[in-house]
Amino acid sequence: MLRRTLLVLFLCTLSEYTLAQNADEWWRDTFVYQVYPRSFKDGNGDGVGDLNGITSKLEHLADLGISALWLSPIYTSPMVDFGYDIANFTNIDSIFGTLDDFSRLVAKAKTLKLKVVLDFVPNHSSDKHAWFPKSVQKIKPYDEYYIWKDAKMVNGTRKPPNNWLSAFQGSAWTWNDQRKQYYLHQFAAGQPDLNYRSTALQEEMKNVLRFWTNRGVDGIRIDTIPNLIEDSRFLDEPKIPNTGLPDTDPGTLQHIYTADQDETYDILKSWRQVLDSSNGTRKIILTEAWTSLSLTMKYYNYGSNVPFNFMFINQLNNQSSPLDFKRIIDRYLNSIPQGQQPNWVVGNHDSHRAGSRYGEQRADQIPMIAAVLPGVGVLYNGDEIGMIDRPLSWAETVDPAGCNAGPGRYNVTSRDPERTPFQWDSTTSAGFSTNPKTWLPVHPNYKTLNLAAQKSSPTSHYGITKQLVALKKDPIIRTGSTQLIVAGENVLGIVRRLDQSRTIALLINFANKPITIDASAWLNIPTSMSVLVASVGSKIAPGIRVNTAALNLPAAASVILK
Ligand code: NOJ
């Protein structure tokens, strides 16, 4: 008896300890929301989104219930890569506004209990950054701020030092005639790679973090972290045979020397320390790494709270079966280190929209999975209203990833389709701008697909997403057990159970025809449950009670029962 009491006491203390330890981790069991500033809301009518536009729409994000907004880059930039080429890491580009505008945004966000997360782009600067010409001139310590290499002379002709390729096609090296050397750029030529073997550079970037935390920022999303460090031998990367891709495409090489190098993790740790020593709330770190499962997990150990899980973008698609979903999700969940939270990225500015990847009928499916599974969900602006890609012609294409691929292949690589303006209402330019001409064209479906049309309907994409965001706070979702079950051939079930009497179940029909199943038997759930949320088009009314022993799931429908 005494032993049992002691054990119960010990377990209570343990869980209280874990709760206390995690209490300041405000992002736990929430949705984080990505704002792509150029496309969110234009406050001054120039056709490009800006900070005042975002500030004017913060109530929308508070209404949605997300914990934090992550802003894609807002810094001074020549916009070669639409802000990911930064000419001044500690100032705001005039197209977006001023530092004062930023302070107003942060202040209003605080009053609405929203956290603000900035994009930290440490791998490269713009070639228009003040450091670059100093590096060209070999002025110390800037001479070593970038990666410079001598040319390789082949039969008297100057060639790049090795075969490394840019993510945006072609050699990753550009010749500089003044310094008489090549510089490395893993992205556009206007984005020279920074050299993390320079301690002076490392210190500069820590100061960038200090600058923004002093201005009230609650965390960072670290851009393309695996590319920070390159192998110092500068050897050719091995070719992948028979890719069917042109030789200029980075998909033809195994990036064993330009990505995932061991020193990367220590750099992350040093940034964690900088953020931890700042005042105010605990800071979140989200890391962008398109890498293996084991290396994704490794980021947790070095200070990332949300090493992005891109499985719904790069591993699963509209051809995947319920078994594929189960296998990949289970494997991921089983790999999460003790005490850490999983995360689920629904969409981002580099990937086709969820509604286009999975089909409009299934647009709610991925947000629903992200809500029902434990951990953090990550939404991209527009996901909440079911926005879809807007295909662009070659003439309309502006993304360097598309432009560099040329007219024959731009539509495979361009990210413009998922970056079109947010559709607020059915007025001029979807209410995004007073200007009828916007930096990317508005999707023509905006007259019917817009926030205003969805806002007050609980069965719209918006109404559903709002309920999904709220669901993250449900104790069953926060602490219940998780089980994925394939029921028959076409249905995936995700069951969350807190105890005998508290169950939430998500059921997804992968078939394009209606299915009736005995979900109570397959999933071991009560025979009578009520509908919390059902996908748009399913025509299942929220609130009704259903008999799960003969559950009717319309074609491609998803439903959450409690
Ligand atoms: C990843 C960003 O998400 C993408 O938009 C950008 O082009 C590259 N990193 C380079 O910064």
Ligand 1: residue whose CA is nearest its atom 6: 84
Tokens of 20: 């206390």
β-strands 376-380, 284-287: how paired?
unpaired
Report, as ranges of residue numbers, the positions in the chain whose pLDDT lies below 70: 1-21
For position 433, what pLDDT does the model report? 98
What letters, b where the CB count within 10 A reaches 16 and e where it falls short, cover 157-185?
A: eeebbbbbbbbbbbbbbbebeeeebbbbb
Q: Which residue, 322, 383, 246, is CA-closest to 511?
A: 322
d(CA 171, CA 249): 9
Q: Is 84 in the pocket of ligand 1 (CB under 6 A)?
A: yes
* DSSP string covering 194-215: B-TT-HHHHHHHHHHHHHHHTT
* Coil, strand or helix at 551: strand
Taking the centre of ligand 1 as the mean of its atom positions, its distance from the CA of residue 396, in whole angstroms, is 20
81 lines ligand 1 (CB under 6 A): yes
Q: Can you give the pLDDT at residue 121?
A: 99
User: What's the angle, vertex CA 451, arms to CA 447 and CA 106, rounded to 5?
Assistant: 135
Question: Is 223 touching ligand 1 by the criterion CB < 6 Å?
Answer: yes
Q: How far apart are CA 45 and CA 163, in angstroms?
A: 45
Cα–Cα distance measured from residue 414 to residue 409, given in angstroms and rounded to the nearest whole number: 9
Ligand 1 pocket check: which of 86, 121, 314 to mutate, most ligand atoms within 8 Å of Cβ? Answer: 121
Ligand 1 neighbourhood includes 287 CB (under 6 angstroms): no
Instruction: Compute the distance from residue 223 Cα to the ligand 1 centre, in Å.
Output: 6
Distances (CA, A) of 12 to 2, 8, 400: 15, 6, 55
Q: Which residues are catalytic?
A: 223, 288
Q: Whose CA is nearest to atom 10 of ligand 1?
A: 84
Q: Mind giving me the DSSP string for 505-549?
A: EEEEE-SSS-EEE-HHHHHT--SEEEEEEE-TTS-PPTT-EEEGG
Rounded to the nearest angstrom, the distance between the alpha carbon of 193 and the centre of ligand 1 is 13
Q: Is the CB of 324 under 6 A from ligand 1?
A: no
pLDDT at 380 (0 to 100): 98
**Around Cβ 23, how many Cβ atoms within 10 Å?**
10
pLDDT at 475: 97
Pocket test for ligand 1, best of 35, 70, 84, 121 (most atoms within 8 A of CB): 84
pLDDT of residue 19: 46
- pLDDT (0 to 100) of residue 491: 98
Residue 500 confidence (pLDDT): 82
Binding site membership of 187 for ligand 1 (Cβ less than 6 Å): yes
Ligand 1 centroid–CA 332 distance in Å is 24
* DSSP assignment string, 4-47: HHHHHHHHHHHHHHHHHHHTT-TTTT-EEEEE-HHHH--SSSSS
Q: Which of 395, 436, 389, 435 is nearest to 416 (CA)?
A: 389
Kindly give the distance from the C-alpha atom of residue 77 to the centroid of ligand 1, in angstroms, as a whole number. Answer: 14
CA atoms of 382 and 353, how far apart (whole Å) = 9
Q: Count Cβ atoms below 10 Å from residue 543 Cβ, excluding itself.
A: 8
Q: What pLDDT sits at residue 67?
A: 98
224: left (phi over 0), alpha (psi -120 to 50) or beta: left
pLDDT of residue 404: 96
